[in-house]
Amino acid sequence: MDTSVYVFAEDLAEGVDQVLDRIIGYGAAGVTIAAAHQRARDVTPHGATRLTVRHDGVRVPLPDGLFERLVPPVLPELPLAELRRGGLAVHGWTTFLRNASIGERHPEVTVRNCFGDRGAPADLCPAHPDVRGYAVGLARAVARQGFDSVVAEALHFSTFSYERCAVPLGPMDAFLFGLCFCHHCLRRAADLGVNAEVAREECGRIVGGVLAGDSPAQGEVTRAALTAYAGPEVVAYARARSETVTTLVADVAAAVTEEGSELTFTDGTGAAKGYADGLPPAGLAAHDAWQFGVDLVALGDIVQSFAVLAYARDATRVADDVAAYQRSVGKDRELRAVLRPGTPDIAALGETDATDRLAAKVRAAKAAGAQAVDFYAYGLAPLNALARIKSALG
Ligand SMILES: [Zn+2]
């Protein structure tokens, strides 16, 4: 079974040899190293610093001619020769459409809600032609470095994000609030026969009502519930977004292939559902991916490999999520289950039970059809949690 450990570039400040020695010691076959990432501030329990600031940017050279108006910030390059020396596979983890540095410089390429606000500088809209060109350029720049694969994160629409909100928004209200109605999204939906302007007005009416004191909607977002709550035009608009994403992923996958690497597509739904507490709501990630504009059935015809973010405490849930992805993308596609070796997916357990739980999830993922298991993430997990990987793989 193929395996890797996700590693942030900043984690290498511990010393490349030390990081590789540990990962080899865990029995992993590769590292999935951040070649392009978004800004963050993380507690790094065994890092060179215990609180680590990460910046938006890329850690590979930017060849001439790949970028036009949108250019990513350039950070110190990854020590790829050193990383390869350990004999491990090296995958290039690439965050595509989350980049606040670009969004702050070019707000016109960020998502725009039903009220016309552009309040999410990190969220670049996949319908904007410049963003699409940027994504292809970034894919080429990373793939050209000879990574065993390019692991794409955030190559789809994002969820609604904010920092403070004193209004009780239900999941469906938040979904409507997060839909992009920029000029390009409206036009693409209209080209598919959707009455996009009606959809925008309905979103504004519903979310505006909740902001004015109407009761928020209850329950998870499903197509049926959303149709009842917001009407068929809104659902048609939301579903039309998959054409925007599918065609973008096709362009990126083709570019990666041309550069001699291959794309692993990561759908963020599993993280949206389980990242905070490892207790994802009932709907399986593969069934809810449409909410990000991700049509897994269509992508199964385009992409050979998929990462399944199995952020769940329960091994049965891991199996259910992997199996649902396999049904969507097809049996002959590679599935890589991404597991977290520590909290919150493995919480409040003694060390023996914690290791057993991780091992059970590895077995569950494999039995459900995963060909690979990756562990997230070296710099975030304490050493005792990382140490469980060895037993779990054994
Ligand atoms: Zn848009």
Question: From CA 64, how far away is CA 48, in angstroms rounded?
Answer: 34
Q: Could you tell me the CATH superfamily of domain 2-110+119-162+244-393? A: Glycosidases (3.20.20.80)
Confidence band of 349 (pLDDT split at 50, 70, 90) = confident
Give the helix/strand (H/E) hosting 309: strand 305-309
pLDDT the model gives residue 356: 96
* Distance between Cα 85 and ligand 1 center (Å): 43
Confidence band of 351 (pLDDT split at 50, 70, 90) = confident
* Distance between Cα 124 and ligand 1 center (Å): 8
Q: At 370, give phi and psi (nearest 5°).
A: -75, 135
Confidence band of 86 (pLDDT split at 50, 70, 90) = confident
* Distance between Cα 181 and ligand 1 center (Å): 5
* Distance between Cα 288 and ligand 1 center (Å): 20
- Cα distances (angstroms) measured from residue 178 to each of 58, 123, 158, 240, 273: 27, 10, 8, 15, 16
Look up residue 5 and give its two tokens: 């450990």
* Distance between Cα 179 and ligand 1 center (Å): 8
What's the chain's average pLDDT?
97
Confidence band of 232 (pLDDT split at 50, 70, 90) = very high
* Distance between Cα 388 and ligand 1 center (Å): 42
* Distance between Cα 299 and ligand 1 center (Å): 20
* Distance between Cα 110 and ligand 1 center (Å): 7
